[in-house]
């Protein structure tokens, strides 16, 4: 197995005329917790289903644990733990029954471990699945995803529908049982601030493209809002990547990448400016609603306009 647990190279996927993924490219390093972020409908679930060989790609290359999921879906699924977005399980089964039911599907299933996880996650083994709460349901799904000791765990929006206390508990379980054991975790969400405490790295998917991949810690340092007077906006370098731009009277507020470089050059040129730290939701918003949805040439144009304003 290489250094990458998951690799997407220029992957395209359309459903009829609807282009869901367009040249999607990213890598997940082995042993890390990777958060995959995007708005509803950004293509997160489609990408995940492709990783498991549940959907075929139109173009590009996908490797999961070094395997092509399209060629060897069973090979991939035997080494990957997967928790679907709204995992439906047989409601009439008791939790204990579904554990026994799932066991024969996996050569590496460890039933003692399954029971242990069920205890740790407080899953009531004698209760019928249809009577479980949302939180218990997610944790039962996690038990099923982990009991075959997967090297890679793929969780599709696991925190969706959990209350804040359950989310924190879920994050704790993730940290103790997955990060603590050195596994790779790939975890999709639409809430950047929720994944921040646990993710080593985040990727933001928007309209089928990865618009940013970064270490969680670096993202905030790199993306900041800078407020300067419109007259001074000519000082904004052509090469600066402006994510979002708002003019307000004589002031111009821009959200930029590589903020430190820009701050330094503004300082060197003696341009008066104010730097505003952004929280992660604001950063996410800048990426998915800002000007960078535009094609690259439009982006340059936005900067020209910013320069002229």
Partner 1 sequence: MILRIEKGSAVPISSQIAQQISMLCASGRLQPGERMPSVRELARELAVNQNTVLRVYERLVRDQLLEMRQGQGTFVAANAASTGLAAHRDSLVEELRQLARQGLALGLESEQLHELMDQALEQLQSSASVEKEAS
Binding positions for partner 1, rule: CB under 8 A:
33, 168-169, 171-172, 175-176, 179-180, 193-194, 196-200, 216-217, 220-221, 277-281
CB of 127 to partner 1, least distance (A): 26
Structure tokens at 136: 């218990």
Q: 216 or 303, CB closer to partner 1?
A: 216
Whole-angstrom distance, CA of residue 17 vs CA of residue 232: 44
Among the listed residues 225, 256, 241, 247, the one whose alpha carbon sits nearest the alpha carbon of residue 308: 247
CB of 158 to partner 1, least distance (A): 14
Q: 26 or 187, CB closer to partner 1?
A: 187
Q: 163 or 277, CB closer to partner 1?
A: 277
Q: Rounded to whole angstroms, what are the CA distances from 63 to 72, 104, 212, 272?
A: 10, 26, 20, 48
Q: 229 or 239, CB closer to partner 1?
A: 229
Q: 168 or 209, CB closer to partner 1?
A: 168
Q: 2 or 197, CB closer to partner 1?
A: 197
Provide the 8-state DSSP code for 209. Answer: E
CB of 169 to partner 1, least distance (A): 8
Whole-angstrom distance, CA of residue 205 vs CA of residue 212: 7
Q: Please check whether residue 38 is in contact with residue 204, taking contact to mean a CB–CB distance below 8 angstroms.
A: yes
CA 289 to chain centroid: 17
CB of 174 to partner 1, least distance (A): 9
CB of 156 to partner 1, least distance (A): 20
Whole-angstrom distance, CA of residue 81 vs CA of residue 64: 12
Q: 231 or 277, CB closer to partner 1?
A: 277
Counting other chains too, the contacts that 70-79 makes at CB distance below 8 Å and 24 or more residues apart are: 76/51, 76/52, 77/52, 77/53, 78/106, 78/107, 78/108, 78/148, 79/150, 79/151, 79/152
Whole-angstrom distance, CA of residue 174 vs CA of residue 142: 10
Provide the 8-state DSSP code for 176. Answer: I
CB of 13 to partner 1, least distance (A): 31
CB of 17 to partner 1, least distance (A): 37
């Amino acid at each position: 197995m290489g250094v990458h647990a998951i690799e997407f190279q220029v992957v395209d996927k359309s459903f009829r005329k609807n282009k869901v993924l367009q040249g999607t490219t990213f890598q997940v390093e082995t042993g890390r917790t990777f958060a995959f972020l995007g708005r509803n409908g950004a293509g997160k679930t489609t990408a995940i289903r492709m990783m498991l060989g549940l959907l075929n790609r139109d173009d590009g290359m996908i490797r999961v644990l070094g395997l092509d999921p399209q060629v060897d879906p069973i090979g991939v699924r035997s080494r990957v733990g997967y928790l679907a977005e709204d995992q439906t399980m047989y409601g009439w089964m008791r939790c204990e029954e579904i554990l026994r039911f799932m066991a024969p599907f996996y050569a590496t299933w460890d039933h003692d471990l399954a029971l242990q996880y069920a205890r740790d996650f407080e899953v009531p083994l004698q209760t019928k699945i249809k009577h479980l709460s949302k939180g218990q349901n997610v944790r039962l799904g996690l038990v099923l995803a982990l009991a075959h000791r997967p090297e890679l765990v793929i969780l599709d929006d696991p925190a969706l529908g959990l209350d804040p206390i359950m989310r924190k508990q879920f994050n704790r379980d993730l940290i103790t049982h997955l990060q603590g054991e050195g596994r790779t975790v790939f975890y999709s969400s639409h809430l950047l601030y929720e994944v921040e405490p646990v993710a080593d790295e985040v990727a933001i998917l928007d309209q089928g493209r990865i618009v940013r991949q970064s270490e969680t810690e670096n993202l905030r340092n790199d993306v900041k809002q800078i407020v300067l007077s419109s007259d001074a906006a000519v000082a904004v370098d052509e090469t600066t990547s402006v994510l979002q731009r708002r003019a307000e009277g004589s002031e111009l507020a821009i959200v930029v990448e590589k903020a430190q470089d820009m701050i330094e050059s503004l300082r060197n040129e003696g341009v008066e400016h104010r730097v505003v730290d952004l929280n992660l939701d604001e950063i996410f918003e800048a990426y998915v609603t800002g000007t960078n949805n535009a094609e690259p040439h439009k982006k340059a144009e936005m900067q020209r306009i910013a320069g002229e304003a």
